[in-house]
Every structure is written in C-alpha cells, then in structure tokens.
Amino acid sequence: MVLLFFFFFFQAEDGIRDAQESRGLGDVYKRQVSTQSTGTLRTNMQSRALILVVLAAIASIAAARSAAASHILVASETQCNELKTSIGAAADPVAAFAEAAKEHSTCPSGKQGGSLGTFGPGQMVPEFDKVVFSGELNTVLGPVKTQFGHHLILITERTD
C-alpha cells in the first residue's frame, strides 16, 4: 500500500516537472509554480494515501471474518423440516445435503450442491448471516426463514 502511494506521488511530481519544462517557463516563475503545484499535489496525494490506508484496514477487518456454506432453499417450512430429517438420517450427511440441494433447492446454487462459496458478514440477508456466523459447523441448521423462502444451511468453514 505504501509503495503504491510513493509510486503515484513520484509519477505526479514527474508529470508537473515535465509540463513546466515543455512550456518553457522562466526559472523564477517555474520555481513558484513548482512550489505551489507540488505543495497542493502533496496534500492531495497525502489525502488519497490516507483514504487508501483506511480502506485497506477496513478490507482486512472484513476479510478476517468469513464463512463458507451451502444451503437448500425451498418454499415451505414443512418441506424444509422433511429434508432436514432425511439428511440427518443419512450415513454421510454432507453428501446427502448436496444431493438434496441438487434435487430440491429452488436457488441456482442447488446445481452446485447448494454451495455459496466463501463470503463475509453482511453479504447475505441478516437472518442468514446470523445463523452462518454463529451456528455450529458441519451441522444442518434451519429452517431459516428469509424473504426468499426457507433455508437449510450447512456451514463448512468459518474464520473469526
């Protein structure tokens, strides 16, 4: 991040010097313009660098918490409970979850066994987020009701 700042700062200073030289400005005027332009440029570049540092800090905090989960989305709570029971009775619940997602989920992710990949807090609807970032790993959770329907959720990994 710091290297990126210095790269842009020195590129901009070079650009000011090149522009002054190409205009053929006199030495006195050139020094005055250089001091004013460079001072303003430094202030602008420092502000931009500060913004980049703050954004990087925010991104690293958000990246620190993440989860990987799969889900099955269905229309009714009854169907959700039936699927949960059948998945729970299976010898391999994770494989049974993926198969049930392919067969029953109304979400496009069902084709990939319900996998939603990795995501951070706030990327899913609040009801979903609450379960994913507090629920037990490798356990079928739900039904969870959202604006989209009823979900069964399988959290496969989480970093806190």
Q: What is the pLDDT of residues 77-104, one digit of tens each?
A: 999 999 999 999 999 999 999 999 999 9
Tell me how many degrees the CA angle 74-75-78 measures, rounded to the nearest 5. 85
Q: Give the predicted TM-score (pTM) of the model.
A: 0.62
pLDDT, averaged across the chain: 81
Classify residue 99 as exposed, middle or buried by CB count within 10 Å of its CB (0-12, 13-18, 19+).
Answer: middle
Q: What is the pLDDT, as a whole number, of residue 46?
A: 74
Average of per-residue pLDDT across 124-133? 96
